Amino acid sequence: MYNKNIKLFIAILIIAYGGYQFYEGLIGNGIMYLLLSTIFIFLYFKNEFILLSFLKLRKQNFEGAKKWLDKIKNPKSALTTKQQGYYHYLNGIMVSQTNMNEAEKYFKTAISLGLSMDHDLAMAKLNLAGIAFSKRRRQEANKLLSEAQKLDKRNMLADQIKMMKEQMKKAQMPNQHYGSPTSSRQNRRSRR
C-alpha cells in the first residue's frame, strides 16, 4: 500500500508528463496521461483498501472486510483524516459483535476524526447509543439517539432508531413484581 503523499506525487508526475506530451504535439497521449492521473488522485481521497472493505461488508463478509482493513498498517501516514475516520468506523462495526468496549473507542475516534456522509455519522452515533444504553448510561444514550435521528435525513435508520427508543422505554418502566402463588402461600405459612 502506498502512502497518501506518494499517490499525490505519482499523480503530479503523470500530469507533468501529460503536459509534456501536449507540448510535443501528442494530444492523445496527453489526454490519456491526464485520465491516468485521475486514478491516483481518486485513490488519494478514497483509499482502495477501505473501498474493498466496504464492498465485503455489504455482502456481510466480516472476515473479508477485516482482512482488507488489516492491510492498512499505519493509518495516520497512509490515510487522510476522513479516511482514518472510516477506518475506525469500519473497525468499530466489525468489533461491535464481540467487544463493546473496543467498539466504543473505535466509534468515538471515528466521530472525532469525522465521516463525510451524514448517514454514516448517524450509524456511528446509533451504535454508540446502543453501547451507552447497555452500560446503563441512559442520558448519554438519549443524547446520541437524538443526534442520530437528526443526522438521518433520508430515514435510512428510522426502524433501528424506533426499535432503540422502544427498548429504552421498556427499560425505563418500573418492574412490578407480583408475588407468585407459591410465594404468597409461603408468606402465609410463615405468619402462622
Alpha-carbon distance 138 to 113, whole Å?
Answer: 25
Report helix, strand or coil for 161: helix
pLDDT at 184 (0 to 100): 47
In sign, the C-alpha dihedral spanning 90, 95, 97, 103 is negative
Geometric angle at alpha carbon 63, from 105 and 6, rounded to 5°: 70
Residue 170, C-alpha cell as written in the block: 421498556
Enumerate the domain spans of the chain. Answer: 1-45
Alpha-carbon distance 53 to 63, whole Å?
Answer: 10
| Contact status, residue 176 vs residue 141, Cβ threshold 8 Å | no
- Which portions of the chain are predicted below pLDDT 50? 179-180, 183-187, 190
pLDDT at 134 (0 to 100): 86
Question: Of 54, 116, 57, 111, nearest to 82 (Cα)?
Answer: 116
pLDDT at 192 (0 to 100): 52
pLDDT at 169 (0 to 100): 81
pLDDT at 145 (0 to 100): 85
pLDDT at 76 (0 to 100): 87
Residue matched to cell numbers 438519549? 142
Tell me the CA distances in angstroms from 76 to 93, 126, 179, one per residue in order: 20, 26, 59
| Contact status, residue 5 vs residue 40, Cβ threshold 8 Å | no
| Contact status, residue 161 vs residue 148, Cβ threshold 8 Å | yes
| Contact status, residue 116 vs residue 83, Cβ threshold 8 Å | no
pLDDT at 173 (0 to 100): 62
pLDDT at 52 (0 to 100): 92
Is residue 13 within a helix (H) or strand (E), and if so which, with residue range? Answer: helix 4-23
pLDDT at 178 (0 to 100): 53
Alpha-carbon distance 136 to 149, whole Å?
Answer: 20
The model's pLDDT over 30-47, given as tens digits with 9 standing for 90+, comes to: 999 999 999 999 988 888
